Structure formats: structure tokens, C-alpha cells
Amino acid sequence: MGRYIERAEHFARYSKVIYFSALDAPILKTYDRDFVQESMLYMAGIFDMESKTEKDVLFKIGLDAQNSNSIISNVSMARENAHGARSAISTELWEAINRYYHLVISYPVDTYLTTGFYEFTQMILDQTSIVRGKIYGTLLHEGEWAIILIGMYIERVVQVIRIINSKLNDVFKIEQAGHSVTEQSFEWTTLLKCVEAFDMNRKHYASIPDKNQVLEFLLLNQSCPRSISNSLSGIMRYEEKIRISEKRDSETIGFKIGKLQQKYQYLTIDDFKDNVYELLNYTQEKILEIGSEFEKKYLSY
């Protein structure tokens, strides 16, 4: 449940920020609609679209029930999971998820594709906040609660990596078009806004965002709730809460997440600034492996 909720939120926020920030872009390349749509598809992991009109892209990402990665599919799966766990969650949480689901499936496609994209994506963000509040505020802080939060943290790592990769790909295209490092700063600002970290990054560094600063903040800053390091600590904290008594060897989930978290704890930007893709790919591989093992151990019946 937690992973689907988190995934839908990140898809909605990334699409919203990328789509509308392009209207203020300082360089023509970033303003180009094909550039914007390709960035949205890249982040959503959609690489096989034949027709790439704006409406096709928006529909594919938002309301295409045949696309398992669309927002509507993720919200539907979150509701299905919540229904299956109905006896273990609060009435308030169930009603919030059910209301969220019905708002999404009843949203008019024509409105969404013409004038409603901002309203729809903002609705996703608002409903996610409500659901998250019910998770924290109405569930016993015991096993089921911890399992939901672990799922959310795992998915947050996955999505932050996807977002960073997508913007690195965008910056590469801008470099190929001959634009300067100064002109690229708009993309780093956009990246921070895609993960709701712009204001806190500005507070922390008090300077214009650049590549190394943004990567350090989103990968290593323990105080940033959207950072990979913070999410890994969250997974480890809640996994300890539900861990079945077992010998802690190299094959256990606790050992694997602890090892990955410790790796991030002692990294510096100088360790990976020249090869960030290697670190991101390694982290994604490990976190997906941990997520798969976690699902088999705690969610398979």
C-alpha cells in the first residue's frame, strides 16, 4: 500500500513541476514541449510510446488504466491493498484511501487533457497528504503501521533516484545543445522542486543551486526528509520494529539495509561526484532487492 501511495505522489509532483516550470524556462531548449514530455516519460519509465502528442503523454501518465505505472493504476492498487488489509487498518484510513480512489477514477478525462492537469496533479498531492496523516494519526504504531512506512520509504528511494536520473538526462541534453553551466542552474532548481526540497536547500546552503550541492543534499543530507540517506535510515528504523527474532547474518533484510545505510552515512560528495550514475544504479539495484525480499517475507500469504 505504502509504495503505491508514494509512487503516485512522485509521478504527480514531477509531472506538475516539469510541465509548468517550463513556462518560466530561461532557455528555449527547456521550454520545448517535446523536451518536457520526454522528461516526464523518462521519469515514469515509459520508453515505448509511438505517438507522443501532449495529450497522449498526459493520458499515459495520469489516467491510462492500461498502464501499470500511471497515477490511476497506482491509486487503484493502493485501494486494493487497503481493502485486503481492511481489518488491520483504521476506518479513517480506509475512508481516506477510498475517497482518494473515487476522486481519481471519476475525474473527467477531457477536463484533465485540456484545462485540468494542474488541478488533477494538485489533487493527488493533497489526497496523499490526507492519507499520510491518517497513517500517522489513526493507526497503532505497531507492525502494520511500520510495514506501510517501510514501503513508503523504499519507494521514496526508488522515485528520488528516478527523478535525479531524469534531470541528469535533461542536463545532458542541454549540455549537448551548447548551453553554459550557469544556464543549467534552472534545472537544478527544478529538480529540488520536484522533491519538495527547494526551500530547505536554499536555507541550508544560502546559494544558487548547482550540481554538486543538489546531489549532496538529496543523497546524503540526513536532515532532509526526501534524501536517500534519510529514507534508508527510516527503513532500518522501522524494520527493527517488526523484525522477527533471527540471526543477523548477511542474508537477512536487516543486515542488507544496514549495510546500505552505513555506506551512505560515510559517503562524501567527492566520493561520487564524477560518477554519480554508478552510485544511483547500485543503490537502486540494492533497494529493489530489499523491497522484493521484504514483500516476500512480510506481505506474501
Per-residue cell: 90: 483504521
Tally the domains of the chain. Answer: 1
Low-confidence winner among 32-36, 121-125, 167-171, 177-181 (lowest mean pLDDT)? 177-181
Overall average pLDDT of the 103-108 stretch: 98
Counting every residue, how long is the chain?
Answer: 301
- Residue 61 contacts residue 40 (beta carbons within 8 Å): yes
User: Does residue 107 contact residue 63 with C-beta atoms inside 8 Å?
Assistant: yes
Residue type, 99: R
Q: Please, are residues 173 and 13 in contact by the beta-carbon 8 Å criterion?
A: no
Residue by residue, DSSP assigns 47-65 as ---S---HHHHHHHHHT-T
Range of the domain at 48: 2-298
pTM: 0.94
DSSP 8-class letter at 122:
H
Give the residue carrying C-alpha cell 554519480.
Answer: 276
Q: What is the pLDDT of residues 40-62, one digit of tens each?
A: 999 998 888 877 799 999 999 99
Answer yes or no: are the C-beta atoms of 139 and 97 closer than 8 Å.
no
Q: Are 157 and 290 a contacting pair, CB within 8 Å?
A: no
Q: Grade residue 30 by pLDDT with cuts at 50, 70 and 90.
A: low
272 closest CA partner among 220, 225, 202: 220
pLDDT of 29 = 54
